[in-house]
């Protein structure tokens, strides 16, 4: 994938979701300025859908109004061939979903730190205001581990504002967007997203981060809504979790929206208080350095490979990351997306040989249809160092191509044109099978006799 006439150099694909793909890119500027960014592009089969274009534009607009360290920001919008590309902050790290696949469960203090960071970002979204200072009343609608990015700086950020929506302006039922495993039942049933439905999704994310297990599966869908039983306290699966934290998580997961926390701030405050009460005299939340150490330990080789791509000499629309048997990503010159593959060095030679064969066959057929030369005698001499033989023929008016059978591979070496028309040399591999006629059907048969010789005669000798 390449953005035409752009300051952004596409390096590799980072992730792909239901609506678009995010690429790692290099932003270039004057005086040698360059930095890594993330470029988001809608899937090609969705480019004709006006809804997708509106969602990309909405994400760019909301990000321009929302600046917070726990929210992935959109720094620029690029347009190429009528298509919008979102240029976003590149979070060097991994998603919470990727961390959970490799580390089960995540250390309690690290999980609590990540959850509090997500609370900060989600609350900033709920409190976002327009340029006039009016509250927008936004809801995220897709709070999930895939949309939580944890960086090597030890900070977790909330990503993907493409489906965020102003709940106060919905009125009627809207399309249900997001992942069913993290949806509140009332949102799935009515299509009306609220801050409370975001809090429920955040509760599911927290439950899974603390336990290292899945709370709900997508197969719980039913015709009338979501079929779910009461959630199990996290400490049942992870005994190290204090019961006070159980109460906070279960409150966020209440089936009745009225029984959940009134805001994300209330949820974060209750979680922090419960964690500190369970660990008096000790830090219940991991320091940033501890989060950094976890991300680096799990994804260090992959992140180093991505940084190495910036200095690669391969054309930038052909670079990608390939995971080897050890699970390490390394840069390689494999096409990405719509990248063009450079032709190999043999391609021009193959094309020239093919063209020469076509010309030779055409000339032979033309000569066979218009002329009938006299019988030809030739002498075959065996080469001393190979199994090949040399056949000497008098000069013919045009080049004749011999179709070789499976047992014989023939190659013709045509001598340069001279005034005296010297005999030409045909080099053919020796075989038990007889040498086929080099003359089309209308020409007389070729008489061949073999005579040993120490070396082939000079075809240009007088």
> pTM (2 decimals)?
0.66
Report DSSP state, residue 271. H
130 is a catalytic site residue: no
- pLDDT confidence of residue 439: 47
- pLDDT confidence of residue 312: 62
Local confidence pLDDT in tens for the 462 residues of the chain? 555 446 888 888 888 877 778 899 888 888 888 889 999 888 777 767 777 777 777 777 777 788 899 999 888 888 777 677 888 899 999 999 999 999 988 999 999 999 999 999 999 999 988 888 888 888 998 999 999 999 999 999 999 876 666 664 444 455 667 788 999 989 888 888 899 999 999 999 999 999 999 998 765 555 455 667 889 999 999 999 999 999 999 999 999 999 999 999 999 999 999 999 988 767 889 999 999 999 999 999 989 888 887 766 554 444 455 566 655 555 554 444 443 333 344 445 556 677 777 777 776 666 555 554 555 454 444 444 444 444 444 444 444 444 444 444 444 444 444 444 555 444 444 444 444 544 445 544 444 444 444 444 444 444
- pLDDT confidence of residue 411: 43
- pLDDT confidence of residue 8: 84
* Length of the chain in terms of residues written: 462
Any idea which fold 1-90+312-342 has? Answer: Phosphorylase Kinase; domain 1 (3.30.200)
- pLDDT confidence of residue 134: 87
Marked catalytic residue, from 142, 198, 246, 317: 142
Domain ranges of the chain: 1-90+312-342, 93-299, 375-450
Beta pairing, strands 8-16 & 320-323: unpaired
Does domain 93-299 fall under CATH 1.10.510.10? My reply is yes
């Amino acid at each position: 994938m390449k953005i035409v006439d752009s300051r952004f150099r596409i390096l590799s694909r980072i992730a792909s979701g239901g609506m678009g793909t995010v690429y790692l890119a290099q932003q270039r500027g004057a005086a040698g300025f360059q930095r890594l960014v993330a470029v988001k592009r809608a899937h090609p089969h969705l480019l004709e859908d006006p809804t997708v274009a509106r969602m990309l534009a909405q994400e760019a607009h909301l990000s321009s109004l929302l600046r917070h360290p726990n929210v992935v920001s959109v720094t620029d919008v690029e347009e190429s061939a009528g298509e919008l590309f979102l240029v976003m902050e590149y979070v060097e790290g991994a998603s919470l979903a990727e961390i959970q696949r490799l580390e089960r469960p995540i250390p309690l203090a690290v999980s609590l730190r990540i959850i509090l960071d997500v609370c900060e970002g989600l609350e900033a979204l709920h409190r976002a205001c327009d340029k006039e200072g009016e509250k927008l009343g936004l809801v995220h609608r897709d709070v999930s581990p895939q949309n939580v990015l944890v960086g090597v700086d030890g900070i977790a950020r909330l990503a993907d504002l493409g489906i965020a929506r102003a709940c106060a302006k919905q009125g009627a039922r809207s399309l249900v967007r997001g992942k069913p495993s993290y949806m509140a039942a009332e949102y799935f049933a009515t299509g009306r997203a609220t801050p409370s439905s975001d809090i429920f999704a955040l509760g599911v994310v927290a439950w899974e981060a603390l336990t290292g297990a899945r709370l709900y599966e997508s197969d719980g869908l039913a015709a009338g809504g979501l079929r779910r039983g009461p959630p199990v306290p996290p400490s049942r699966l992870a005994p190290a979790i204090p019961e006070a934290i159980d109460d906070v998580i279960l409150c966020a997961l209440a089936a009745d929206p009225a029984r959940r926390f009134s805001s994300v701030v209330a949820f974060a405050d209750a979680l922090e208080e419960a964690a500190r009460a369970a660990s008096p005299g000790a830090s219940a939340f991991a320091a940033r350095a501890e989060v950094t150490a976890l991300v680096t330990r799990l994804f260090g080789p992959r992140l180093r490979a991505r940084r190495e791509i910036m200095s690669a000499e391969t054309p930038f629309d052909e670079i990608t990351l390939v995971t080897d048997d050890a699970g390490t990503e390394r840069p390689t010159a494999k096409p990405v997306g719509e990248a063009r593959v450079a032709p190999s060095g043999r391609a021009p030679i193959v094309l020239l040989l093919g063209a020469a064969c076509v010309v030779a066959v055409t000339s032979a057929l033309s000569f066979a249809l218009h002329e009938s030369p006299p019988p030809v005698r030739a002498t075959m001499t065996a080469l001393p160092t190979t199994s090949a033989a040399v056949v000497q023929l008098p000069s013919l008016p045009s080049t004749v191509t011999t179709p070789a059978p499976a047992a014989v591979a023939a190659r013709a070496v045509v001598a340069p044109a001279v005034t005296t028309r010297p005999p030409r040399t045909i080099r053919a591999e020796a075989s038990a099978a007889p040498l086929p006629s080099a003359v089309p059907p209308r020409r007389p048969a070729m008489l061949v006799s073999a005579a040993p010789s120490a070396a082939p005669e000079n075809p240009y000798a007088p």
